Amino acid sequence: MDSFAMVFAIFVLAAFVGFEVITKVPPTLHTPLMSGSNAISGIILIGAILSAGAQQTWLTAGLGFIAVVLATINVVGGFMVTNRMLEMFKRKD
C-alpha cells in the first residue's frame, strides 16, 4: 500500500468511527458537542507549531505564529467553555 492509500484509509476509518460515536450523543448535549469538537479541530495547532518553530523564512514563521494564536484560542477556549457547560449538566446528579 503506498503512502497516500495509507492516509486515505485512516481518513475513511476515522469517518466511520466518528459517525458511530457521534450518533450516540443525545440532543441535550449537542451544544457542548459542537464546542468540544471545535476544541478538537484546534488540532491544526500542531501544524501551526511546526511552521512557526521551523522558521524557514520570516514569512512562514509569521504565518505559523498567527495560526498558533488562532488554533490555541480554539483549543483553550473550546475545552474550557465545554467544561463550563458540562458542569452545569452534571451538578443535577
User: Between 1 and 88, whose beta carbon lies closer to other proteins?
Assistant: 88
Q: Restricting to residues 59-88, which ones interact with other proteins according to CB under 8 A?
A: 59-61, 63-88
- The answer to whether 92 contacts other proteins (rule: CB under 8 A) is yes
Size of the site for other proteins (CB under 8 A): 81
**Are 32 and 86 contacting, i.e. CB atoms less than 8 angstroms apart?**
yes
**Are 60 and 54 contacting, i.e. CB atoms less than 8 angstroms apart?**
yes
Q: Which residues contact 77 (CB under 8 A, 6 or more apart)?
A: 39
- The answer to whether 48 contacts other proteins (rule: CB under 8 A) is yes
Q: Restricting to residues 6-45, which ones interact with other proteins according to CB under 8 A?
A: 7, 10-11, 14-15, 17-19, 21-45
Cα gap 10→13, rounded to integer Å: 5
**Are 79 and 39 contacting, i.e. CB atoms less than 8 angstroms apart?**
yes
- The answer to whether 1 contacts other proteins (rule: CB under 8 A) is no
- In whole angstroms, how close is the CB of 5 to other proteins at the nearest point? 10
